[in-house]
Structure 1
Amino acid sequence: MLKVLFAGTPETAVPSLRKLAHDTDHFEIVAVLTRPDAPTGRGRKLQPSAVKQAALELGLPVIESDPKEETFVDELAATGAQIGVVVAYGNILRQHVLDALPMGWVNLHFSLLPEWRGAAPVQRAIWAGDSVTGTTVFQLTRGMDEGPVLAQSTMEIRAHDTSGELLERLAQDGSHLLAAALEALAEGRISPVPQPQGSFEVARKITTEDAAVRFKAPVFAVDRQIRACTPAPGAWAHLHANAVAEDADAVEGKEAPAATVLHILKAVPADTEDMQVPDDLEPGKLVVTKKHVWVGTLTSPLELLAVKPQGKKAMAAADWARGAHLDETAYLD
């Protein structure tokens, strides 16, 4: 039975942890390494990571030490682990830590390495318009996602996949690939294969600034950007609009703030064969009907389906537009 130290933090890593923990014929999780509890939400209360919560439910010992601490290697040795498994842990492991376990460390990465090495492989694959992605199990080395490959599996990127939806499928699929690769490695049935040399796209982390929607791009590019940034960090734009008076008692000329943030949760390229869809919308220009909200791009319009106005709850775009009483000058940028 392979003694495993599991390192992970977000929900993405939980399927792999559960898969290994439940396979008691082949694996023993001797400890789970994760980040310390962190403040979250408006109240900034300390919350355990998703991996810590799952580990405690499974009755597994949890380590929250910083791998940079001098005593960390001794702490690793005390677990009796033969191999370390990393799934979205979030900390870089130094060489002396990588060398501390007899069988080293392996990582589950959500791309087909060597493509999309880095922090945001799923988001970048969608943004780039890739049709296929996958998961890779590889041996950790000092280079970023450059270690020799043990196993890979492919997955189609669907036309309307958000990064969150795709990552959820990859996390499930990857948990099975990881378990199979570890079992084969322990039994000597698999040999690592060096990654090809060359220049490959790096999956840089997507920032809040990156997620500002660029409506002066073609509709397919705007669609990819929004899906890549959903759910995190979240696509957004500045709304410029004047409020239209609902009735005669409303204050004439009352205006909404010059620019507020509108979070775009779901959108699709408009069906250009639908006669209702407006033609020749300028980039960012909003057109609202009872059931639809369209916004112009460099090419054809994009239909907004779900949004979250600044300081309010998420809602259907048509419901938001009715409540906002937008006039014909409204636009996004």
Structure 2
Amino acid sequence: MVIVFAGSPAAAVPSLQALTASRHDVAAVLTRDDSPRGRRRELTPTAVASAAGELGLPIIRANRLAGPATAEITALRPDLGVIVAYGGLVREPLLSVPRLGWINLHFSLLPRWRGAAPVQRAIIAGDEMTGASVFQLVPELDAGDVFGQFTQAIGAHETAGHLLDSLAVSGAELLVRVVDAIADGIARAEPQRGDVTLAPKLELADARLDFAEHASTVFDRLRGVTPEPGAFTQVDDVRVKVLEAAIVRDQPPLAPGQLELRDGRVLVGTASDPLELVSVHPAGKKPMRAADWWRGRPAGAGTVAR
């Protein structure tokens, strides 16, 4: 089949590579515009654009799927559109351009966690299982019939970044199997079943740690927002990113938010067990071990994280 692929972040690259290596023809790759990144705010291509360039594939850059982008895709007369984390909605008339419509690889067990941040929201919610789904794209958000799914356990210490990397590889294999089945005329899609939950894009406020919560709840949030937008708290009105932490079950409790150095470890109280802050990134400084940060603070500095 002639395929148009749409995707932007690194999580979409394994799918693009797998489709390019398959028996199908990736006629073009649609991705978002280059964007300013880093301290120098240099225009940087998306991970998918970089991968498409290495594979020698034509690239269509567009933040909105209308006008010129739709015309370019229409001219290719694709059989199928494939989308993986593009970062925008496919609406009519583009939705009907491919002969067989569009399919979407989504990193959740639909209908659980429809939306932009399914992996992050699953971890924050304390889910023990997740997976990926390939479904038929329809106008309603992530609501189309499902061609295939797989399940995967969420590790007790796994971050959103690590889990997404793993799902991206396994999801690419599922995606190619579904595309092959569609090409062979044997694919069957089933309506989604179960309770719908939503996974909206993470905001900075989602990354603030609330130490009045149970230790496991705080730890799940930290894992769910790592690496982006990055868990944080404030000490003496200074934002401190928490890069790594662990639940401590062999120490007496501390008041929620109370910080203390015990046996060379920086502990912070929660509603249950303390958390050890293993590594942190104070505003205006480099990432460091939490114990080094604690010892380097000025005399009389505060001992409460808020």
**TM-score, structure 1 normalization:** 0.88
Aligned counterpart for 1:239 among listed residues 235, 240, 245: 235
Tell me how far 1:325 sits from its aligned partner.
5.2
In structure 1, the residue matched to 2:191 is: 194
Tell me how far 1:33 sits from its aligned partner.
0.2
In structure 2, the residue matched to 1:219 is: 215
Tell me how far 1:323 sits from its aligned partner.
2.4
* DSSP 3-state at the match of 2:201: coil
In structure 2, the residue matched to 1:114 is: 111
* DSSP 3-state at the match of 1:202: coil
**Equivalent residue letter for 1:13:** A
Task: State, as a whole percentage, how many aligned pairs show the same letter.
Answer: 43
Superposed CA offset, 1:22-45 (max 9, x none): 22xx21111000011111111111
* DSSP 3-state at the match of 1:111: coil
1:35 paired with 2:32, answer yes
Is 2:28–2:59's contact at 8 Å kept on the other side of the alignment? Answer: yes
* Cα distance in structure 2, aligned partners of 1:207 and 1:236: 13
1:148 paired with 2:148, answer no
Distance 1:326 1:97, change over 3 A: farther
In structure 2, the residue matched to 1:302 is: 275
1:167 paired with 2:164, answer yes
Superposed CA offset, 1:67-111 (max 9, x none): 443343331122232111100001111121110110110000000
Tell me how far 1:289 sits from its aligned partner.
3.9
Tell me how far 1:142 sits from its aligned partner.
0.2
In structure 1, the residue matched to 2:6 is: 7
* Cα distance in structure 1, aligned partners of 2:202 and 2:71: 36
**Equivalent residue letter for 2:103:** V
In structure 2, the residue matched to 1:256 is: none
Distance 1:326 1:60, change over 3 A: farther
Distance 1:58 1:280, change over 3 A: same
* DSSP 3-state at the match of 1:30: strand
* DSSP 3-state at the match of 1:210: helix
Is 1:290–1:318's contact at 8 Å kept on the other side of the alignment? Answer: no
Tell me how far 1:224 sits from its aligned partner.
0.6
* Cα distance in structure 2, aligned partners of 1:70 and 1:262: 44
* Cα distance in structure 2, aligned partners of 1:326 and 1:219: 29
In structure 1, the residue matched to 2:201 is: 205
In structure 2, the residue matched to 1:253 is: none
In structure 2, the residue matched to 1:262 is: 240
Distance 1:191 1:286, change over 3 A: same
Is 1:67–1:97's contact at 8 Å kept on the other side of the alignment? Answer: no
**Equivalent residue letter for 2:204:** T
In structure 2, the residue matched to 1:92 is: 89
Distance 1:169 1:133, change over 3 A: same
* Cα distance in structure 1, aligned partners of 2:150 and 2:188: 16
How many aligned residue pairs are there? 306
Is 2:112–2:195's contact at 8 Å kept on the other side of the alignment? Answer: no
Distance 1:66 1:303, change over 3 A: closer
* Cα distance in structure 2, aligned partners of 1:46 and 1:101: 31
Output aligned runs, 1:39-118, within 5 Å: 39-118=36-115
* Cα distance in structure 2, aligned partners of 1:329 and 1:313: 20
Superposed CA offset, 1:180-226 (max 9, x none): 11111110121111112x64211122210121110000101110111
Deviates more, 1:312-321 or 1:142-151: 312-321
Tell me how far 1:65 sits from its aligned partner.
3.4
Is 2:31–2:63's contact at 8 Å kept on the other side of the alignment? Answer: no
* Cα distance in structure 2, aligned partners of 1:65 and 1:159: 38
Distance 1:290 1:323, change over 3 A: farther
Tell me how far 1:139 sits from its aligned partner.
0.6
In structure 1, the residue matched to 2:260 is: 287
**TM-score, structure 2 normalization:** 0.96
> Unpaired segments of 5 or more residues in structure 2?
none
Tell me how far 1:326 sits from its aligned partner.
6.5
Aligned counterpart for 2:295 among listed residues 315, 322, 325: 322
> Unpaired segments of 5 or more residues in structure 1?
241-258
Tell me how far 1:324 sits from its aligned partner.
2.5
Is 1:66–1:72's contact at 8 Å kept on the other side of the alignment? Answer: no
**Equivalent residue letter for 1:192:** A
In structure 2, the residue matched to 1:16 is: 15
Tell me how far 1:280 sits from its aligned partner.
2.8
